């Protein structure tokens, strides 16, 4: 079934669309849809090429545009006017939804994505005004877009969320190799505590039971030396000497190199 000017960007398909509108579901309707898609596919591909420099593969964009074309053909009513006038915004909208939903490095709510688009358009309009010099202010953008200042802030943050920055990226040439990863996180002292406890285990096991009890009461129950002396039944001075001696033994044991482990040069 020939539709005419199949390879033209805007083929003449009025008659085919009228037949499609009257056709019931079935093989004939599917064949008409397929032929109309083939006829208008060059137009859809042309629209896809307008988005080719935004980081997406062109073939993927053409497939998205083809999906939008199928939707346009399925929903088109010939009584509405020329098909191209209906199809172009439908296909373009499908392409924009693809970028909005699939190509953000940092996922943000759709409401914030919409704010981003409004803020970007308003900022461009403000800066394009005759006599305007410099960056557009928050109040100017809010007035132009009809948004609150909080909404403008959300939109401005979303402008920075479309593409992420590598953790290996250097800040500047003057940063002497400093990367974003170098500024993240902090030293966790808890790891040192864990290492010290593991190192002290063997030394504690080697102590007599009384010395282990004294150290437990002092450092885990936070008892005073006088309280420990009363509980254990010895003098406070003796408790002090035992704590000092026991700690030294545990420390020496932790620093001792095992026989099966060679001493580092």
| Residue 264, in any domain of the structure | no
Contact 40, 11 (CB under 8 A): yes
Residue of 76, 72, 64 lying closest to 88 (CA atoms)? 72
Looking at 76-188, list the stretches that DSSP marks H as alpha helix, in order from N- to C-terminal side.
83-102, 110-127, 138-145, 149-159
Q: State how far the Cα of 70 lies from the Cα of 250, in Å rounded to an integer.
A: 77
| Residue 178, in any domain of the structure | no
Query: How does the average pLDDT of the chain come out, rounded?
Result: 79
**Same structural domain, 96 and 26:** yes
Residue of 59, 68, 55 lying closest to 95 (CA atoms)? 68
User: 39 pLDDT exceeds 80?
Assistant: yes
* Mean pLDDT within 78-99: 86
Q: State how far the Cα of 65 lies from the Cα of 59, in Å rounded to an integer.
A: 10
Give the domain-ending residue among 85, 102, 119: 102
**Same structural domain, 74 and 142:** no
Give the domain-ending residue among 60, 75, 102: 102
* pLDDT-based confidence at residue 170 (cuts at 50, 70, 90): low
* Mean pLDDT within 224-245: 93
The domain that holds 214 is classified in CATH as: 1.10.10.10
**Same structural domain, 82 and 145:** no
User: 4 pLDDT exceeds 50?
Assistant: no
Contact 14, 3 (CB under 8 A): no
| Residue 250, in any domain of the structure | yes
**Same structural domain, 94 and 113:** no
**Same structural domain, 206 and 225:** yes
The token duo for 62 is 């053409």
| Residue 181, in any domain of the structure | no
Strand partners, 170: 179
* Mean pLDDT within 149-175: 67
What's the pLDDT at 9? 62
User: 251 pLDDT exceeds 60?
Assistant: yes
**Same structural domain, 157 and 94:** no
| Residue 209, in any domain of the structure | yes
pLDDT digits (tens, 9 = 90+) for 171-204: 555 555 566 566 666 666 677 778 777 888 888 8
| Of 229 and 10, the one with more pLDDT | 229
The domain that holds 51 is classified in CATH as: 1.10.1740.10
| Residue 261, in any domain of the structure | no
Residue 218, SS3?
helix
Residue 170 backbone phi and psi in degrees, to 5: -80, 145
- Residue 84 lies in domain: 14-102
Distance of CA 193 to the CA centre of its chain: 34
| Of 249 and 191, the one with more pLDDT | 249
| Residue 241, in any domain of the structure | yes
**Same structural domain, 147 and 197:** no
**Same structural domain, 95 and 123:** no
**Same structural domain, 77 and 122:** no
What's the pLDDT at 258? 55
Give the domain-ending residue among 102, 119, 137: 102
pLDDT digits (tens, 9 = 90+) for 108-152: 567 776 787 788 788 888 887 777 777 788 888 899 889 898 888
Q: State how far the Cα of 137 lies from the Cα of 145, in Å rounded to an integer.
A: 12
CA-to-CA dists, residue 173 to 36, 114, 166, 167, angstroms? 56, 35, 16, 16
| Of 191 and 219, the one with more pLDDT | 219
What's the pLDDT at 3? 39
pLDDT digits (tens, 9 = 90+) for 51-75: 877 667 888 889 999 999 999 998 8
Q: State how far the Cα of 26 lies from the Cα of 37, in Å rounded to an integer.
A: 17
For 195-200, which contacts have Cβ atoms below 8 Å and span 24 or more sequence positions? 196/254, 199/254, 200/250, 200/254
What's the pLDDT at 177? 58
Structure-token match 């940063």, residue found: 175
Residue 120, SS3?
helix
| Of 178 and 222, the one with more pLDDT | 222
What's the pLDDT at 67? 92
| Residue 179, in any domain of the structure | no
The token duo for 111 is 């409401």
In the chain, the number of structural domains is 3
**Same structural domain, 125 and 147:** yes
**Same structural domain, 65 and 31:** yes
Q: How many residues comprise the chain?
A: 265
User: 95 pLDDT exceeds 80?
Assistant: yes
**Same structural domain, 95 and 117:** no
Q: State how far the Cα of 94 lies from the Cα of 66, in Å rounded to an integer.
A: 9
Contact 155, 115 (CB under 8 A): yes
Per-residue burial over 138-164, b if 16 or more Cβ lie within 10 Å, else e, is eebbbebbebeeebbebbbebeeebee
What's the pLDDT at 260? 45
């Amino acid at each position: 079934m020939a539709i005419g000017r199949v390879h033209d960007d805007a083929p003449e398909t009025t008659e085919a669309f009228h037949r499609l509108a009257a056709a019931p579901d079935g093989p004939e309707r599917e064949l008409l849809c397929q032929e109309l898609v083939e006829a208008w596919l060059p137009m859809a591909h042309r629209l896809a090429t307008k988005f080719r420099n935004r980081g997406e593969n062109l073939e993927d964009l053409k497939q998205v545009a083809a999906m939008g074309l199928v939707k346009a053909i399925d929903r088109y009513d010939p009584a509405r006017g020329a098909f191209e006038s209906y199809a172009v915004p439908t296909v373009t909208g499908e392409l924009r939804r693809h970028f909005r939903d699939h190509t953000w490095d940092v996922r943000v709510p759709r409401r914030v994505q919409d704010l981003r688009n409004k803020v970007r358009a308003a900022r461009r309009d403000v800066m394009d005004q005759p006599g305007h010099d410099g960056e557009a202010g928050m109040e100017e953008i809010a007035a132009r877009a009809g948004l609150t200042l909080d909404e403008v802030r959300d939109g401005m943050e979303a402008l920075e969320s479309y593409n992420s920055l590598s953790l290996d990226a250097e800040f500047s040439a003057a940063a002497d190799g400093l990367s974003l990863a170098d500024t993240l996180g902090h030293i966790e002292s808890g790891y040192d505590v864990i290492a010290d406890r593991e190192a002290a285990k063997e030394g504690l096991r080697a102590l007599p039971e009384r010395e282990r009890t004294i150290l437990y009461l002092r450092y885990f129950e936070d008892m005073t030396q006088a309280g420990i002396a009363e509980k254990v039944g010895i003098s406070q001075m003796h408790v002090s000497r035992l704590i000092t001696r026991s700690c030294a033994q545990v420390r020496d044991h932790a620093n001792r190199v095992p026989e099966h482990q060679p001493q580092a040069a």
